[in-house]
Structure 1
Amino acid sequence: MDASTPRQSTPAPANNHLLEESILPTWLNQRPISLLGFVWMWVALAIVIVTFQYGANGVEGGLSLPVVMLVVLTATMALAVVMTLTADIGTEHGLSFAVFLRAPFGTIGTHIPSVSRGVVAACWFGIQTYIGALAINGLVEYWTGFSSWPLWYALFLAVQIANVALGIKAVERLASFAAPCILAISIWMYYTLDGVADLEGTNIWTFASGGDLSLVAFFLINMVVWAPLAVDIPSITRFVRTAPGERRFLRRNRAVLTAHFVALPMMQAWISFIGAVSFIVTGEWNPVDVIQGQSTGLVLGVLLLMIVLAQWSTNTAANVVPAALNFVNAAAPHLSYRSGVVLAGVVGTAVMPWLLLDNLFTFLSYYGGFIAAIAGIMICDYYVLRRRRLNVPALYDPHGQYRYARGVNPAALVAWFGASGVSLWQPDYAYVIGFPVAFALYLVLMRAWILRRHPQAEIDDPSDAYLATSVGRSWVHDPASGTFDRLTVDELPHGSHRADI
């Protein structure tokens, strides 16, 4: 036991709305995702339907194919900086996104941004499930003549919910299997479409539509693709293996850096390239439509099944897990992780994703600003104010330092709403407006107002007592006493209370 650990008792789980098993900090021996596993997860994640559409929109808007790929690559790497900074919250303390937000937003205030993020994730869950259902329907209709995408939507939804409910290791295994299939689809699409282009005398590299798409606007809208997961990534990185006692940021986050700055940008550029080539050659960007138009028989069946697998693997890590954990945080201790997964499916269907897909860019533009504002507040709070230190026991104490004003930190809400509102003035530039405005507002309000009224232990005493992985320790909750200890790897109990997530 570490004598320097803050010894705050928390109420029993039945009386504590902040405590539920699935949102407790993960221990260093409860992180099963390897570096390669995390890379494969991002390869699998990259085949999101909007990336195909971005590539097509780029060439349709007048940009050349090389420029489209370069913009997507650089935009993704720019967002990877934000994503890597927020990822350390999971790496260092084993905390999910929603639990960490109790520090800047308050123990009650966290529910507003975290549930909002959960709804966005659920919307994407529905959209990806709908795309997969269309692929299944195309396959069944080709072979049998029977057509009913709502039926396949319901079945596909149920299968994904069951898979995610099995736990985070099941999510990693699916991604490791799906990623090679995704690469196979994209390579087949390229060679098939390139052959068609040669027959038609079309040069894909010099194609120009004569549009007037703004290069800056195209860059920024590409950042929004992964903006929601950029704030929610601690919910995944809390399960990524890391070296205990590693104080150097780059070494501690080695798996994160490899996935975010190599796997993700390269795959995003490649998939947008396929979408652009599809549009140049066929006038279609949707991979389901392209595959149905360019293949028959067994090849059609295999490719459509791979599309289903691709949507499945993207949904599990990027949408279902974050949505479930955010919903659990809001309804603890009455909502379990598995119930949260089911709720994500219900919400994702209730928003009618088939209609959202028809208005995808409007959807992306309007949530970009409020997601960027959350990222600005998180990074300001974690790095500038708290210097990566957190009083983790107080995050689970309804009467602790993060209660602020009746559970709400007004500085965070003012910064979030203010920055989100300003960003709506220019939706195309929402991300680069929302992030710095929220960062600056939050910093000023905290230092000039909140910290004078609500002292924060880790800010007043920035010692190693408020670090975890960097000093080779894990935050461990004892349900019998209601206290937290920081234990070394050798002191941790064998086994895991993370069997279901």
Structure 2
Amino acid sequence: MASKTIRKVREVVALDSDESHYEEVSAWSNRDLIPLPPARRTWGWFNFFGSWSLSSLNVATWQTPNTFLTQGLSVGQAMAIIVVSRALCCLFAVMVAWCGLTWHIGFTVQNRYTWGFRASYIPLLQRILLNFIWTAIQCWNGGKLVTVCITAIWPSFATIPNTLSASTPTTTYELVGFIVFWAVSIPFLFIRPERFKKPFLVSSVMCGVAMFALMIWSVATAKGVGPVFYQGEKVPATSQWSASWLMMAGINQAIGGKAAGMTNSSDFSRYAKKKSDYLIGTITVYWIVGVLVCFGGLVTTAACQKIYGDIWWNPPDLMMVMMDYGQGSSGSRAAVFFLAISFAFTSMFENVCSNAVAGGIDLAGLFPRYIDIRRGALITFFAAWIIQPWQLINEAATFISVLNSFSVFLAPIMGVMVCDYFILRHQRIKLSHLFSPQGSDYWFWHGVNWRVIPCWVAGWAPTIGGLIVSAGGITTAPRALTELYYMAFFVGFSVSFVLFYAVNLIFPVLHRGEIDEVDKYATFTIDEAARLGVVPTDVVQGEALGNPKLEGLEVKVGEASADDSEMTKKWWSLKRG
């Protein structure tokens, strides 16, 4: 009886397959994992502009200069860190995304040809853990913006009695904001990524206008900027770290904070209509707009220093101060409301896209028969209640520091990914071997590519000691441990890259760099198939007879096609001349 009930439940929750669209559901495949066909690749340059805007037009980016100024660096040094780190982030993001742009698969599937089917769970589980935690933390931070919005409408909300126990590290005031932010976000989880254009447009425009308006108002009201804008280098003479080392640590920290998003950039690059759309959207926002937002945060904070006499880096705190100084007038409250709701909406959609949807994609790779992007995103969002971010934010500052340093483990993953795809495989993979282990070149040894694991471990082993030292505040450890940690991203990426290349030279993988002869999943347009040397699906199905565009293509072909259809034979005969 129990087994029948379990079987019925599994049948009900199992995802539907649509073989007419090559959407097979199996232990390794579903609609959200297969290579995206042209019809689902709907993102133009503005979609990527909007996507990256979410990680630039936000509170964290606005506050970035504060991190470096409080360490004693000058304004010029802080901005140099931001410019360099964001340029490097663009470079690494594009390298990881290139597989998605070419073969239209995401991070979840991309790892199978490097790690093996089963070992690909190692990077996947790391990503899932990060998505769970960051979704919860972002809900909490967004909830603070919601409390500002509510207070702007009903000022008495700021004095609401705390009904929680003394042992709970939060207040009713904060928890209400969290609940409202979490609940309002839920409907956006039902939007498919290919339909994100309008939310991207609204969120990026709202927050961009709000940030610019806040900066102009503060400078005009203060008639200039305060002393913090002119801060010179103030590294204490007694400090064991010079300004150069602090800048190195700052670059590493800034890149590390974006490592999670860079690692799975192919999850979203696969939605691109053209490669140029991804490049334009990424560079214009991730680098240029990101730098401008940091600079705008610095200018606004410096101007508000003259207005209010104190430094307020955190926008929610600054907005509450603005209402207090405005003596609760309707004008000040209206201004604060529109500022807060703009920041909150952007924070919400950043959380939906960058954390929840990314978590949904990763969970789909873990349980393809039962979880797609939508279900995975909902699971990721509901996990926020289990994680209880108020415990992490208010009581565990060290934990957040460790979370920001998770690039110690992610950089080596990126190192082996980039080495395998660009250097060893020359950007050539067999799509059909990524979704079924039977006879797959990527099954390796029992689903594990033993070559990659020691190279990944060797990437983070030299820097994990520094992470422990920094997180634990240990002052008696050897200086070299901390120095390696300050270069963790570069050390991890480089060590794993070089070692993986060397191991593969000594123990080469069979059939490396081979591709499918035929486009099995109807993934490519005719032009893409021509560039890759793959027989298009419509040719195999006999739908391209008399197509003048097809007959004029110049294609590099391999040997005989694996398909025996008469149309395919004519294709190969035509291409051989």
Which category of TM-score, normalised to the shorter sequence, fits these structures? Answer: 0.7 to 0.9
- 1:230 aligned residue (262, 266, 276): 262
Match of 2:486 among 420, 428, 439: 428
Distance 2:541 2:280 in 1: 30
Aligned residue type for 1:337: I
2:442 corresponds to? 402
Q: Indicate the SS of the match to 1:158.
A: helix
Alignment of 1:279-294 (within 5 A): 279-280=301-302, 281=305, 282-294=310-322
Matches within 5 A, 1:185-200: 185-195=210-220, 197-198=222-223
Is 1:103 the counterpart of 2:161? The answer is no
Question: C-alpha separation between the residues in 2 aligned to 1:427 and 1:172?
Answer: 39
What letter matches 1:335 in structure 2? I
SS in 2 for 1:472: helix
Counterpart Cα distance in 1 of 2:63 and 2:421 = 35
Alignment of 1:125-136 (within 5 A): 125-136=135-146
The letter of the residue matching 2:424 is L
Matched residue pairs, number? 458
Cα separation, 2, equivalents of 1:79 and 1:298: 37
Other structure's SS at 2:88 match:
helix
Which residue number in structure 1 is paired with residue 430 of structure 2?
391
Matched, 1:217 2:263: no
Q: In structure 1, what is the equivalent of residue 382 of structure 2? A: 346
What is the CA-CA distance between 1:197 and the residue it aligns to?
A: 4.9
Note closer, same or farther for the CA distance 1:485–1:124 as it changes in structure 2 (3 Å cut): farther
Give the equivalent residue in structure 1 for 2:413.
374
- Give the one of 492, 495, 509 matched to 1:437: 495
Q: Which residue does the alignment assign to 2:280?
A: 258
**Partner SS state of residue 317, structure 2:** helix
1:162 aligns with 2:201: no
Structure 2: how far apart are the matches of 1:111 and 1:489? 36
* TM-score when normalising by structure 2: 0.73
CA 1:70–1:401 in 2, change beyond 3 Å: closer, same or farther?
A: same
- 1:29-44 equivalences under 5 Å are 29-44=39-54
Deviation larger for 158-167 or 125-134: 158-167
Aligned counterpart, 2:356:
320
Q: CA-to-partner distance for each residue in 1:445-475, whole Å, 9 max, x for gaps?
A: 2332362xxx23x42x46876997597347x
**Aligned in 2, Cα 1:64/1:447: closer, same or farther, shift over 3 Å?**
same
Larger Rg: 2
From the superposition, tell whether residues 365 and 102 of structure 1 become closer, same or farther in structure 2 (CA, over 3 Å): same
The equivalent residue for 2:328 is: none
Residues 80, 449 of structure 1: alpha-carbon distance in 2 compared, 3 angstrom cutoff:
same
Secondary structure, counterpart of 2:537 in structure 1 = strand
Q: In structure 2, which of residues 55, 58, 62 is the aligned counterpart of residue 52 of structure 1?
A: 62
Query: Structure 1 residue 220: deviation in Å?
Result: 1.7
Deviations 1:319-374 (A, max 9, x none): 12211100110111122322101111133443333344444762345301111111
Structure 2 equivalent of residue 23 of structure 1:
33
Aligned twin of 1:414: 454
Are the aligned partners of 1:411 and 1:450 in contact in 2 as well (CA < 8 Å)? no
CA distance in 2: counterparts of 1:379 and 1:110, whole angstroms: 15
Paired residues of 1:73 and 1:265 also in contact (CA < 8 A): yes
Q: Within 1, Cα distance between the matches of 2:418 and 2:399?
A: 28
Query: Which piece of structure 1 moves more, 89-98 or 295-304?
Result: 295-304
1:71 to 77, 81, 85: 81
User: Is contact 1:13-1:333 (8 Å) kept?
Assistant: no
Q: Which residue number in structure 2 is paired with residue 268 of structure 1?
A: 290
Deviation track 1:386-442 (CA, whole Å, cap 9, x = no partner) reads 111111111101222211121111222222222122222333321111100111122
**Matched residues in 2 for 1:492 and 1:165: separation?**
37
Query: Any gaps of 5 or more consecutive residues in structure 2?
Result: 1-21, 161-172, 237-242, 324-331, 466-483, 544-577
Using the size of structure 1 for normalisation, the TM-score is: 0.83
Deviation readout 1:104-155 (Å, 9 max, x if unpaired)? 1111111111121122123222222211111111222343323533233234
Between the two structures, name the one with larger relative contact order (CA 8 Å, sep ≥ 6). Answer: 1
The answer to whether the 8 A contact 1:88-1:234 is kept is yes
Closer, same or farther in 2 for the Cα pair 1:321/1:332, shift >3 Å?
same
What secondary structure sits across from 2:494 in the alignment?
helix
For the aligned residue pairs, the C-alpha RMSD in angstroms reads 3.0
Cross-structure match for 2:164: none
Identical pairs, percent: 16
- Cα deviation for residue 166 of structure 1 reads 1.7
CA–CA distance in structure 1, aligned partners of residues 398 and 385 of structure 2: 16
Contact between 1:33 and 1:240, CA under 8 Å: does it hold in 2? yes
Give 1:78 deviation, angstroms: 1.1
Q: 1:211 to 1:351 in 2, by over 3 A?
A: farther
Contact 1:56 1:277 in 2 (8 A): no
Stretches of structure 1 that go unaligned for 5 or more consecutive residues are 1-10, 243-252, 475-483, 494-501
Q: State the distance in 2 between where 1:283 and 1:464 align.
A: 62
Amino acid at match of 1:330: L
CA contact (8 A) 2:139 2:178 kept: yes
- Return the alpha-carbon distance in structure 1 between the equivalents of residues 405 and 266 of structure 2: 23
**Partners of 1:175 and 1:367 in 2: CA distance:** 27
